[in-house]
Amino acid sequence: MQIGAPVPPEVAARARESFARQGLMAHLGAEMTEIRAGLVTLRLPFRAELTQQHGFFHAGGTSAIADSAGGYAGFTLFPEGSSVLTVEFKMNLISPAQGDFLEATGRVIKNGRTLTICQLDVWGVTAEQRKHVATGQQTLICLLDRPDS
């Protein structure tokens, strides 16, 4: 399946059901806004509880939504009945993360049988602008025949 192509409804439902079971994403208030083949976008609305001492989004929240966006991007390409785990990821924080919300996109750049590599990008968004605040790369492992439910 080509990266960015629409996914069948059952793949989108499987990703949304899995995402709904993530306690951290619920705690942060993150929501899944786009699901395509190998491409997932998450949104994290601004709340004071998500900031660091200068009032910017904390790097922990920024990297958490990037990690989940990439994980679910890979998950859309994995066989039914499998699950996903992050093996490693690296984030570069390139600008203070501020805005009405953060938007994280994970995009598969290499889908392998066992390991999948994703590009991670996070933007701070306001009504006036969309500013790139973080970028990174992630390695995922596909756990065959191990559903995450």
Per-residue pLDDT reduced to its tens digit, 53-85:
999 999 999 999 999 999 999 999 999 999 999
Q: What is the DSSP string of 30-43?
A: -EEEEEETTEEEEE
Q: Indicate the pLDDT class of residue 99, thresholds 50, 70 and 90.
A: very high
Is this structure's pTM higher than 0.85? Answer: yes
pLDDT for 100-142, tens place per residue?
999 999 999 999 999 999 999 999 999 999 999 999 999 999 9
pLDDT for 85-96, tens place per residue?
999 999 999 999
CATH top class, domain 9-143:
alpha beta
Amino acid at 88: E
Place of tokens 């899944």: 32
> Cα(45)–Cα(127) distance, rounded to whole angstroms?
13
Domain boundaries, the chain: 9-143
Q: What pLDDT score was predicted for residue 148?
A: 81
In angstroms, what CA-CA distances link 98 with 25, 30, 67, 125, 139? 19, 15, 18, 8, 27
pLDDT for 16-48, tens place per residue?
999 999 999 999 999 999 999 999 999 999 999
